Chains A and B, each alone.
Chain A
Amino acid sequence: MANTAHAHRIHPLEGRIAGSAGVRITPAAPAARVSLRAGPSDVKALSKALGLDLPLAPKTTSGALPGRLAAWLGPDEWLIIDEGGDPLADLGKAKVLHSAVDVSHRNTAILLSGAGARATLEAGCPQNLTDAVFPVGAASRTVLGKIEVVIIRTGDEDYRVECWRSFSTYAFELLSVGARDCLA
């Protein structure tokens, strides 16, 4: 009785798929996420606890999915995403001053893949996503249409869009509409 909900996460975009000739749009797998805040002097210890080097330059990431990825969101702010492990528990081992807040369920993610993936994002994202400025491994907290998202470029033609749970249907629909004209 007590275990009815255990281990079963209902993704807000469960079962959805969209896209066009230029792009495939799918919900990402469930993941653990941590919003990590800390000052510069404690980055080293936290990196050690996480088993990756926390990125220090704007718009960069370290690590990769599946596995663990850390995206720089601000001078004292990172988003940790992990599809297998427990980053919150790992951070618990670091005894330096920091704030680690579980946001695994706050966010959800949408994956875009294909030659038109960038143009699909550009239907709603005013930020410069061209290769020179936003190469593979880049990440940025920015705007998609009327919502806030974190865009992570995971491959040449692959992007991950993180957004808050209740905005995910809007994000998914906007990207689906953007996909129609992504090869223009």
Chain B
Amino acid sequence: MSGANRIKGRGRLTPAKTVRFTFDGKALTALEGDTLAAALIANGIHLTGRSYKYHRPRGMLSAGPEEPNALIDIGRDAARRTPNVRASVQEVFDGMQARSQNRWPSLAFDVGAINNLASPLFAAGFYYKTFMWPKAAWKHLYEPIVRAAAGLGVSPKEADPDHYANHFVHCDVLVIGGGAAGLSAALAAAHAGASVILCDEQPETGGAFHHDADAKIDGVSGWDWAQAATAELRSMANVRVLTRTTAFGYQAQNHVALVERVTEHLANPDPALPRERLWQVRARQVVIATGAIERHMVFANNDRPGILLASAARTFLNHFGVAVGAKVGVYTACDSAWATAFDLKQAGVSVPAIVDVRPDLDPALLARAKELGIEVLAGQCVLDTSGTLRVKSMKVGRASGGSTRSIAIDALIMSAGWTPSVHMYSQSRGKVVWDEDSKRFLPGKHVQDCVSVGACNGVDDLADALEGAAEAGLAAAKAAGASGTKAWGAPGSAISASWAGSMMGAAGGAGAETSVKAFVDFQNDVTAKDIRLAVREGMHSIEHVKRFTTNGMATDQGKTSNIHGLAIAAETLGKPLPQVGLTTFRAPYTPVTFGAIVNHARGSLFDPTRRTPMHGWEEAHGAVFEDVGQWKRAWYYPRPGEDMHQAVNRECRTVREVAGLFDASTLGKIEVVGPDAAAFLNLLYTNSWDKLEPGRCKYGIMLREDGFIYDDGVVGRMAEDRFHVTTTTGGAPRVLSHMEDYLQTEFPHLKVWLTSTSEQWAVIAVQGPKAREIIAPLVEGIDLSNEAMPHMSVREGRICGVPTRLFRMSFTGEAGYEVNVPADHGDAVWKALWAQAEPLGACAYGTETMHVLRAEKGYIIVGQDTDGTVTPDDAGLNWAVAKKKPDFVGIRGMKRPDLVAPGRKQLVGLLTRDPSVVLEEGAQIVANPNQPVPMTMIGHVTSSYWTENCGRSIAMALVADGRALKGKTLYVPMPDRTIEVEVTDTVFIDKEGVRLHG
């Protein structure tokens, strides 16, 4: 038996197909196709959790996505647990473990419920007021306690073992919602030849036909019509029907994000399937057919388990074959609850009374109630309810006073009318408009290429909805360019239950006094009195009321609460409702998992990892890698028994004594080609390029408009009209963009083109006294003698039989070469060079050694020794600024008063008095360590290393007027001591530079 409340012969599920699941450890049986909500109610369970703030017992309110209360932790195993799943959406699968949340030690007895008694402390805006003093207590005491007590659900700590898919798709027409209107629009668009995507958040299409069993279309039930229409759509090649798929975000230019729950309902999902799919749809036209959501009635204690929406009760009965209770009371302001009452009564459920706030009722409804023997209390209210873990009775009377009566019930269904679901429309940036006739907000002007149809557009009559949607679907197809000729006619006849009648705000029984809890927003525990309090405390804008009370700010996005909250605020303010205004709906429409949003971008696909052609060799030779942007660069090559310090010392020594090989492939490279190439570089660099002969190269500095150093690198002139520009590794993409920006916007008259060649060339730096000896046997067609190929020259020839651009240059201060070869040959050429180098006693060295060696020579690293506020003069690079050029980027910036004023920080060298002390990079520098705190800081350390070649530590620093302080003593105060340093120049080795030319 799949639950005592299952009614034989009712519902659309197959009684023989049962599945087993547990709820808080208790084994239960459901039918295949049940939502957890239906399965629990079938088993007589309404109590599913405790509320957010007051820990009040709560149960299912709805049978749909709007569910604010029944948030359940759903698990398959330890790693596959999802908190805060709506019981009304989650389908039961065999073996499912469902757990209630926000309760301790048990659901029925929850210690946190003391919050309910202490509720005066937790009035609206309590966190702005209650915990203000003492200040420190908020962080250490109040916030942790409030968070622990208020939290909803617990996320799993295990890594997510599932995968998630992403699909970017394009279509002519996207239809959001598979109810009557959506199906009609989709059929019309599809028959007109458009490519169509139809999505619906439920397992089956049919929308309101889940509950409205009276609906008839062309003689068949609405449900059967919907299933036939869906089958027809599925059979068409130009249509994709996505069920269990929620449109949750409507972005710019008809970019709509859908999430499909692929395996959440399966007992043993195929591991090849993604758990969820994110569909990022770009549609030419969008048809919004999102229907309407029923509102609850706002009255005292309207949140007890067993009190739920009338349409939900009708869905449980007509779709799942489940009665929500044995004695069901009805409290309504809308005809649709009557239909539920009639269905329940006919299914053998006792309906003691229909309480309708409206004094004048449709005679046909009254006649039908009489016929079925249901008592009707017109113009009356449910003033209160009783029952702790399940509703037991309702107190009925007139709002104006007089006698009251208690009626025993075990469930209470309610309807305050229907709110058009304008979420998608609002997300598309459309502004809702108040319709005075029907007293509701409806879509106004559509600002994107979309249209709203059916109930979400305020169309109540089924035949009108079908016809209007079909017209809209055809129009959308045509607007999207579909040229099909087959017309699809909307069904000729359609009837459905009446949805007439509506009330907004507090009903009789919501009380004016401050002790009554008449809930407006169940998920955030906001009551009618909270909203009145917010207005009394000066919140006059609905946006302020919303934030002060948190009404509508929970994950349910105020689907049931927004209109009630607005109406109560309007009434308290004494203003007409449309003047108070509606808040904007935000994405996501319903909660979306991080897994779906992140989808492929995890693990190695979180971000590209870039490796050079020589990476494999480096790895095999024990390199430790460091991340430089997305690149993996060999950092140092420890030999057995060496730590980093020892390895770097050895590498530094070996390069200066013998030679070293260094992988410089990550350097940015740009080929600048055209007759105006030199003229262009003159404008982009501070240096002058006119006199650089083909075959020579030069160090260049690039500034931003503001006169600060942007990048640097060596530029080789390959031909009159062709330059090989190098940039820093990190600067490669932005330098190309910077150049391209100027070329296209400022210098479009120049005949020059820029092409990134960063990855065309593998670059092997061979540096040290034996560099020439290493490369010489492998090089063909280039005279390597000092006379033929001096320092700062470039030649084209072959190495190991492949073409090379061979640079004679140095970032170490040693004589050296940078061997550029086409990247696919990089590994082979490296290995050939290594075969030459190793027998000579040379080493492979990494970025750390490169950093130390360049610091020994005082070569700057842009981004380390500069920080975007350093001019060429600050860095001691004035020699690289052409004095006679009329213009280059940054020339005016460099002349700004602040940039030429005395007192600027200048790059200098620092030597610690104690040569064994290595300064910390970033450490601050002061002139007088005895001054009171806070001290006047005159600079900071930018680079600092131990150098084996100098036998001591060295550092570079930016110090105010630093160059004038040479020989002076400064101080670096550290937490444990103050370090004495002497200001020097920045070159620590081979000050004359003779080694370069060796």
Which residues B225-247 have CB closer than 8 A to chain A?
A: none
Contact digits for A88-128, partner B, Cβ 8 Å, 1 yes 0 no:
00000000010111111111000000000001001111111
How far, in Å, is A143 (CB) from chain B's closest CB?
Answer: 10
| Chain A residue with the shortest CB-CB distance to B803 | A102
Count residues on chain A whose CB falls below 8 Å from chain B CBs: 53
The residue of chain A having its C-beta at the shortest distance from the C-beta of B751 within the complex is A97
Given the complex, which residues of B lie within 8 Å of A6, measured CB to CB?
800-802
Distance (whole angstroms) from the CB of A98 to the closest CB of chain B: 8
Query: Within 8 Å CB of B760, what residues of A?
Result: 101-106
* CB contact under 8 A between A170 and B802, given known A10-B824, A106-B760, A165-B759: no
* Chain A hits for B282, CB < 8 A: 126, 128
Smallest Cβ distance from B624 to chain A, in angstroms?
A: 19
* CB <8 Å contact, A178 and B777: no
Q: Which of B720-769 contact A (CB under 8 A)?
A: 751-753, 755-761
- The answer to whether residues A99 and B607 also contact, given A105-B760, A126-B282 and a CB cut-off of 8 A, is no
What is the bound-complex CA distance between A164 and B732, given in angstroms? Answer: 14
B170 on the interface (CB 8 Å rule)? Answer: yes
Across the interface, B759 reaches (CB within 8 A) one of A4, A7, A164, A180, namely A164
Q: Return the CB mask of A1-15 against B: 1 if under 8 Å, else 0.
A: 111111111111000
B608 touches A5 (CB 8 A): no
B756 cross-chain contacts in A, Cβ below 8 A: 106
* Residues 99-132 of B contacting A (Cβ, < 8 Å): none
> Is A181 in contact with B277, judged by CB distance below 8 angstroms?
yes
For chain B residues 803-858, which have a beta carbon within 8 Å of chain A?
A: 821-829, 831-832
Residue contact B168 to A166, C-beta cutoff 8 Å: no
A106 lies within 8 A of B823 (CB): yes
Query: What is the bound-complex CA distance between A153 and B756, given in angstroms?
Result: 24
> Is the beta-carbon distance between A122 and B168 smaller than 8 angstroms?
yes
Contact B778 A1 (CB under 8 A): yes
In whole angstroms, how far apart are the Cα atoms of A1 and B779 in the complex?
10
Question: Contact check: which of B612, B671, B777, B829 meets A5 at CB < 8 Å?
Answer: B829
8 Å CB interface, B145-188 against A:
163, 165-170
* Residues of A contacting B921 in the complex (Cβ-Cβ under 8 angstroms): none
The secondary structure that dominates the B interface is: mixed
Contact A30 B757 (CB under 8 A): no
Q: How far is the CA of A127 from the CA of B169 in the complex (A)?
A: 9
Q: A124 and B600: CB pair below 8 A? A: yes
Interface flag for A145 (CB, 8 Å): yes
* Contact flag A9-B825 (CB < 8 Å), given A4-B801, A174-B605: yes
| Distance from A80 Cβ to chain B, minimum over Cβ atoms (Å) | 12
B610 close to chain A: CB less than 8 A:
yes
B259 sits at the interface (CB 8 A): no
User: Is there a chain B Cβ closer than 8 Å to A147's Cβ?
Assistant: yes
Contact with A10, one of B167, B195, B613 (Cβ below 8 angstroms): B613
Q: A41 at the A/B interface (Cβ < 8 Å)? A: no
Inter-subunit contact A122/B832 (CB<8 Å)? no
B611 within 8 A of A: yes
| Interface residue? B674 (CB, 8 A) | yes
| Contact A5-B751, Cβ < 8 Å, known A165-B823, A181-B277 | no
CA distance A119 to B165 in the complex (A): 11
Measured in the bound complex, the distance between the Cα atoms of B319 and A103 in whole Å is: 63
B604 an interface residue at 8 Å Cβ cutoff? Answer: yes
**Are the CB atoms of B800 and A146 closer together than 8 Å?**
no
Interface presence of A156 (CB below 8 A): no
Q: Are A166 and B165 in contact (CB-based, < 8 A)?
A: no
Q: Assuming the A-B contacts A3-B800, A146-B607, A173-B604, are A8 and B755 also in contact, with contact meaning beta carbons closer than 8 angstroms in the complex?
A: no
Query: Which residues of B have CB within 8 Å of A181?
Result: 165, 167, 273-274, 277
A-B contact pairs, 24 of them (CB 8 A): A1-B778, A4-B831, A5-B800, A5-B801, A6-B801, A8-B825, A9-B822, A35-B755, A37-B753, A97-B674, A103-B757, A103-B760, A105-B824, A106-B757, A122-B169, A146-B601, A146-B607, A147-B608, A166-B610, A167-B610, A170-B604, A173-B604, A177-B600, A180-B163
Known: A8-B828, A123-B167. 14 other contacts (CB 8 A): A4-B832, A5-B800, A5-B829, A6-B802, A9-B822, A10-B613, A10-B825, A97-B675, A106-B759, A106-B760, A122-B168, A124-B166, A169-B609, A170-B608
| Residues of B bordering A, CB below 8 Å | 163, 165-170, 195, 272-274, 277, 280, 282, 600-601, 604-605, 607-613, 631, 671, 673-675, 751-753, 755-761, 777-778, 780, 798, 800-802, 821-829, 831-832
List of 10 A-B pairs having minimum Cβ-Cβ separation, nearest first: A6-B801, A5-B828, A9-B824, A166-B610, A99-B673, A170-B608, A99-B753, A37-B753, A3-B801, A106-B760
